[in-house]
Structure 1
């Protein structure tokens, strides 16, 4: 089937944490025979920080972030069997959602793909005129980056016909063990952009342990941290490109995952970093959130911390042997249960079933 996908960026992970998620799922769908076009705006300097060239498995359309650019890509929505609007494009989000619904062919399947469902639902609760809330009666399905039963229940409560979580996963062709790289040598590394609903948790789970363990070395990667006051044993790397993620994950003694406030509150929302680190056989320490055991087994495949003190204690007790055992167990688990091949199979089945129903109805 022909899929028109309107998202933030397929080509760049710069201020765009969903990039590897899009790549993993869409590449697998392309391998299953779908003809995919990904439409992304030229915005936020993402095109100046590309991680990949336009892939052979997907037609990539980068459009100017202007009214004319918007009109040019919406004009193609009517040619698709499936139209997808992802959240968080960053420009023209309302217009894109309303436009793809209005321009879609009568038989087309119309999807909203939410890669920040907990935050979107909070916005919808406080804004009766929220564009997603208004669009739900016209959408065939909502897919989410995660969120589990709480997100499904909330979306269906707002009137979604169907809401299905499609979790992050591992693409073993891009994330895998590699030799250490001294640029990323440290005791604990964290990778994530500085965002308002993450910063306080980074202070607790990363900066507090750093201050408590002055003899240990810490490394933070991601955009926006250059103006943040940090202990002297913390180094800042800035943006870390996707091609560097394996070395970033393989080199430190341990890697930290810190959920954003909304995702930690809802649970069932493992970030892409969880699977990327596990795919590199890193020893992962994660902040505690409901549902972690569905993805990795605590104390065997991941270390779970309730607060910064727990992080410091995990790090102080960690030996190279235990770190290696945890990382290898995590890699085995994600290769078995959490690959984009499995996620693609899930989405492919959903799309084919729903598209057939939409055609019958039309």
Structure 2
């Protein structure tokens, strides 16, 4: 299958979780014998923070603007077996219309932010998706499952809404022998609707537990937040250091955005990453979490700061390790990038895409590179971004 993906970013994980998802999913999809082209808009905030060395099997190309995208890649869109447009892509509505006018294969929207997207559509509109586009895409691939899938089909007119949850790469996330540096840690970009939960489940317990150590890692936190003295702050942890970060925590905290709590069935990639490392997870509560992990056996749920204090001071180390290991086994059985790649292939096949792997020598079915001149490739972009100022 020849697949084109237009996504937010695969080259930089700075301030977004999309890159991690795309890297694992598309690498495993390519490993199943398919050809993948990822098109990413070249913007300064990602160009200055690229952290992808290479991505075997994936052709990554950068474009400067919508005009260049249309001029250079219209033939590519036409010859693809499937085209996916992701959430939060700049000018996503215009890109979606362009794809739908030109694609001859299956078209899909991949929403890594489904509850947020639908909340925007209900209120004041969405920058990257319209209600009209939902009904025109052949597939709506959603990070959120449960009742939201029925709503997408019944109320928004999607011909087929299917779950495609986030996942983890077990080659990158696994238990490591590191002495814990922190009793509780949290990894996540700042969001105003998640901050009250961070205050309640991390900062207030930290104030009460002066002898314990805490850490919050993530970008874009306002300067006026008052951090307790025993809470360490890190602006950014690149993906290649996530495993070490999780393994240096006794427990890790999982927090969910308000729209995703309301929708339910919205696991975060951080949840699966921490579980794959065998780090015991303390999570906020939301509908559907028991579909992914069994509360009390594979994940610990907390609604108040007292819950967190009781876990940190009342749970034995053997019990904590047992919960972490149970979560790890659950992830390995159902939530790896390889599982998601197989699900993506199945969804595209259901929608009518040619899902046969491309034979190594079947050059006439591969993207014809002569139809477009080479643009700014991943290697060129990484090289240029590393040049001294």
Is 1:201–2:200 an aligned residue pair? no
In structure 2, which of residues 193, 212, 215 is the aligned counterpart of residue 216 of structure 1?
212
- Do the aligned partners of residues 18 and 353 (structure 1) sit closer, same or farther apart at CA in structure 2, a change above 3 Å counting? same
CA apart distance, 1:94: 2.1
1:100 maps to what in 2? 99
Q: Does 278-287 or 148-157 show the bigger shift? A: 148-157
1:143 maps to what in 2? 141
CA deviation profile, 1:255-281 (whole Å, cap 9, x unmatched): 000001111111111100011001111
CA distance in 1 between partners of 2:125 and 2:233 (Å) = 41
2:16 maps to what in 1? 16
1:45 maps to what in 2? 45
CA distance in 2 between partners of 1:173 and 1:32 (Å) = 17
Aligned length in residues:
351
CA distance in 2 between partners of 1:244 and 1:181 (Å) = 15
CA distance in 2 between partners of 1:151 and 1:321 (Å) = 38
CA apart distance, 1:345: 1.4
**1:215 aligned counterpart, secondary structure:** coil
Counterparts of 1:151-230 in structure 2, within 5 Å, are 151-156=148-153, 157-180=155-178, 185-225=181-221, 227=223, 228-230=225-227
CA distance in 2 between partners of 1:356 and 1:264 (Å) = 33
Q: Does 124-133 or 204-213 show the bigger shift? A: 124-133
CA distance in 1 between partners of 2:18 and 2:353 (Å) = 29
CA distance in 2 between partners of 1:257 and 1:311 (Å) = 12
CA distance in 2 between partners of 1:49 and 1:166 (Å) = 27
CA distance in 2 between partners of 1:18 and 1:128 (Å) = 22
CA apart distance, 1:22: 1.4
Normalised TM-score (structure 1): 0.91
Is the CA contact 2:86–2:112 (under 8 Å) kept in the aligned structure 1? yes
CA distance in 1 between partners of 2:330 and 2:146 (Å) = 23
CA apart distance, 1:74: 4.6
Is the CA contact 1:192–1:221 (under 8 Å) kept in the aligned structure 2? yes
CA distance in 2 between partners of 1:73 and 1:213 (Å) = 58
In structure 2, which of residues 109, 130, 138 is the aligned counterpart of residue 132 of structure 1?
130
CA apart distance, 1:150: 2.1
Higher relative contact order, chain-length normalized (CA < 8 Å, sep 6+): 2
CA apart distance, 1:72: 4.2
**2:199 aligned counterpart, secondary structure:** helix
Structure 1 gap segments, 5+ residues each: none
CA distance in 1 between partners of 2:5 and 2:200 (Å) = 37
Normalised TM-score (structure 2): 0.85
**2:146 aligned counterpart, secondary structure:** helix
CA apart distance, 1:357: 9.1
- Do the aligned partners of residues 337 and 129 (structure 1) sit closer, same or farther apart at CA in structure 2, a change above 3 Å counting? closer
Is the CA contact 1:15–1:223 (under 8 Å) kept in the aligned structure 2? yes
- Do the aligned partners of residues 170 and 357 (structure 1) sit closer, same or farther apart at CA in structure 2, a change above 3 Å counting? closer
Is the CA contact 1:82–1:355 (under 8 Å) kept in the aligned structure 2? no
Is 1:305–2:302 an aligned residue pair? yes
1:33 maps to what in 2? 33
CA apart distance, 1:35: 0.8
CA apart distance, 1:221: 0.4
CA apart distance, 1:18: 1.8
Counterparts of 1:273-352 in structure 2, within 5 Å, are 273-352=270-349
Is the CA contact 1:287–1:307 (under 8 Å) kept in the aligned structure 2? no
CA distance in 2 between partners of 1:174 and 1:73 (Å) = 35
Is the CA contact 1:279–1:331 (under 8 Å) kept in the aligned structure 2? yes
CA distance in 1 between partners of 2:313 and 2:298 (Å) = 18
Q: Does 225-234 or 250-259 show the bigger shift? A: 225-234
CA deviation profile, 1:316-348 (whole Å, cap 9, x unmatched): 213322221111111111111222222221211
RMSD between superposed Cα atoms in Å: 2.0
CA apart distance, 1:241: 0.4
CA apart distance, 1:225: 2.5
**1:196 aligned counterpart, secondary structure:** coil
**2:130 aligned counterpart, secondary structure:** helix
CA apart distance, 1:47: 2.6
